[in-house]
Structure formats: structure tokens, C-alpha cells
Amino acid sequence: MSTHPDAAQPPSTTQTEGTIRSKLLLVFAICFISINLRSALISVGPVVESIRQNLSLSGTMVGLLLTLPILCFGAFAPFAPRLQRYRSPEQLVTLALLVLCVGVALRSLFGTFGLFAGTLVSGAAISVVMVMLPSLIKKNFATQAGAMMGLYSTALCLGATVAAAFTVPVESIPGSDWRWALAFWNLPLFIAIALWLPYSKAGKANPLAATAKLPKLRHNALAWQVSLFMGIQSSIAYCVFGWLPVILVDRGLTPLAAGFMLSICMGVQVITSLSAPWMATRSKDQRSTIALMLALSVVGLMTTIYAPLETMWLWSTILGLGLGGVFSMALALLVLRAPSPQVAASLSGMAQGVGYTVAATGPIIVGVLHELTGNWHAVAVFYLVLATGSFTFGMGAGRNLYIKPDPKS
């Protein structure tokens, strides 16, 4: 019996291999872009003392420099989804990466003005990319969204670790200084843009995008639970990144040893940032994984304040495992709670806008509490309050539900 020429045929092996290859290339491009989102910002911290001395910055100005990117995330992320009215998400990622290159270059030029202007531009560009990537992951990897968000968060952690490790060696090269150390991170950015250009050209804007309304989530309880979970866990993380070395030095470690403990904490995050979403997507919902990662975080937070210093390598490891898992779960929820790429983009904008605004307040409160009390007991209580809030909103956000936008929005 002959087969009709118009009958549907199964895809050939060549077609299947081509699809797998294209998916893997897209995964690689997204991960490489994600690495650059952290390296461009974390690179400031290791050379901030050189910057302060060279530009005669006050302590307040240094604090503003380090906090400015977080404030930019909170300020610009809510507006990023609206840009889809004019360009496709793929094109917006390309444009934002180009703007990020300009921001990174500005930081090394024009003295103090260029440093702050470049940081502002970089923060705005990164916020757009961080809103668009969850939407693109939801669009291209709908059935593997949790695993992809795990890879995404792992790439962010890897970028932070690489930047923390290599910025000072670049500064130490003969003839180099902090300006070259910051400008260096434009090199991998150029590669990221080159990798992404084929997807930017292929991404077509929706012809109805200019008139279509984006889903509004400000009255949705589940969206607020995701957003506040994102914010409070981010606040904990930024408190640790900014204050852990200070706490450990105050307790008796040398600055070198305290920095090593922070590097352990940051490095091991890669493990749970990849494994936590994988675990969560194999349970009936994400609440048990969130609870486990928060428990590790609380143990790490309390022991870095009270445990014997000779065991600090263990507690720094546990703290890092907890923080990496909680962070990756916060990112994974942006796609797991969204029924469509459009909702994922709106939720990402809302969660990161609210989240990073909340996150920026945490390190400030820690500094005030320590200054008022002269010890770390009040800070420990504050950590427990943050962990309780994160657990409360995490249990709501971790339910196996989809966000339903207001039909009137």
C-alpha cells in the first residue's frame, strides 16, 4: 500500500538533531549572557578601595556606588515589560547588552561622573535583560522551564564568582589599574552580543504589540507572594555579601580569612542553584524545596555569628548552599507561576522591581543595628525576621498554581 505524498511524515533524524543542536546553542547563549550580568557589577567590589583612593570618594559615596545597581533593578525592572510594545524580547536583549557595554566603558572614563553614570546605565541595562530572559525561557523551554531557570541562576552565580576572582589580577597587571580592571569585562560582553545576534534577527515583534495591553498583576495575591519572596531572600543575600566579612573580622578572623569564607559561600551556591529547581520540579509543588533551602540559610546565618571560628568553613558552606538554592527558587517561580511568556515578563518586572527595592534596605538596616548596639545580636534577630518573612511568602508562592491576570487589565 502506497503512502499518500501529502501524508504527515515523522521528523527525520537530521531534523531532530538540528533541533537539539539549535536548542543547545540557545541554552549556551542564554547562560553566557547571564554570566555577564553579574561580572559587570561584582567587579566593582574587589577594586573599590583603589577606586576610593584614586577618586577621593567618601564612605557615603562608596556605599551609594555599591547600592546603586540594586536600586536601578528596583526602579527600571517594572517598566521593562512595556518595551515589548516596540521590540521583541530577543531584540530588547541585544539592545540592552549594547547599552551595558556603554555603561561598562563609562565607568572607566570621565572620573567620578563616569563611574556613577556608567553604574546607573549598567544597572538599567541589566534590569531589562533580567526581565526579558525569564520570558524567553518560558517561550522556548516551556516544559523545561524549571531546569532552565536553574541553569540561569547558576550562570549568575558563576559570573559573580569569576568576577570576584579575576578583577584584582587584571588590576595587578603592569600598566593596568582599576579602570582597566573594570573595562576588561566588556570583552566577554562583546562575545555575548555576537552569540545572541542570530536570535535577535530571528525574533519578530508582535504586530499587535503596540496596541495590546500587558497583563497587570498588582492586584494578584500570588504575584505579590512571588515578589515579596524574591525581595526578602534577596535582602538576606545582600546582607551576607556586604556584611559577612565584617562580622567575621569583628569576631577575630583576619581580613584574608574572612574574604576566603565569603568566597566559599559564593562558590558553593553553584551547586544548589542548579539542583534546587531540579528537585522542586519533581515534587508536587515547590514548598518543600523552599523550606529546605531556607533552613540551610538560617543555620548558616546563625552559626556565622555564634559558632566557633575554627568551624567557619563548614558553616560558610552550609550558608552558601542555602542562599544559592533560595535564589534559584525565587527565579524559577517567575516561570513556574506564569502560564505564558507575557505573564512571565510582567511577573518578572513586578517581582524584580519590588524585590530589589526591598533588598536594598537590608544591608542598611544591618549597619544601623550594629552601630546602635555595638554587637551582632540584634542583627541575628533581624536575620530571623527576614527568614520568617521569606518562609511565609515562599509557602504561598511555592504552591502549584498559575497566576491569573485580571481580565480587566
Query: Tens digits of per-residue pLDDT, 228-277?
Result: 999 999 889 888 877 787 788 888 888 778 777 887 888 888 888 888 88
In one-letter notation, the amino acid at residue 232 is I
Question: Domain extents for the chain?
Answer: 23-213, 215-404
Predicted pLDDT at 314: 95
217 three-class SS = coil
Cα 273-278-282 angle, rounded to 5 deg: 150
Rounded CA-CA distance 34/163 in Å is 13
Over residues 368-386, the pLDDT tens digits come to 888 888 888 999 999 999 9
Tell me, yes or no, if the two domains 23-213 and 215-404 fold the same way. Answer: yes
Give the model's pLDDT for residue 205.
52
Give dist(CA 392, CA 326) in Å, integer: 13
pLDDT in tens, 102-119: 999 998 888 889 999 998
CA 289 to chain centre: 19
Task: Specify the DSSP class assigned to residue 84.
Answer: G
Answer whether 405's CB lies under 8 Å from 212's CB.
Answer: no
Among 264, 206, 207, residue whose Cα is nearest residue 240? 264
Burial 54-84 (b: 16+ CB within 10 A, else e): eeebeeebbeebbbbbbbbbbbbbbebbebb
Topology of the domain comprising 215-404: Growth Hormone; Chain: A; (1.20.1250)
User: Which among 280, 315, 281, 274 has a CA at the least distance from the CA of 298?
Assistant: 315
| d(C-alpha 131, C-alpha 128), whole Å | 5
The model's pTM: 0.74
Instruction: Measure the CA dihedral 354/359/360/362, to 10°.
Output: 140
CATH topology of domain 23-213: Growth Hormone; Chain: A; (1.20.1250)
Q: Is the pLDDT of residue 367 over 90?
A: no
Compute CA 230 distance to the chain's CA centroid, rounded to the nearest angstrom: 10
pLDDT tens by residue, 8-18: 454 555 555 55
The C-alpha atoms of residue 363 and residue 292 are separated, in whole angstroms, by: 24
Rounded to the nearest integer, the mean pLDDT of the chain is 82
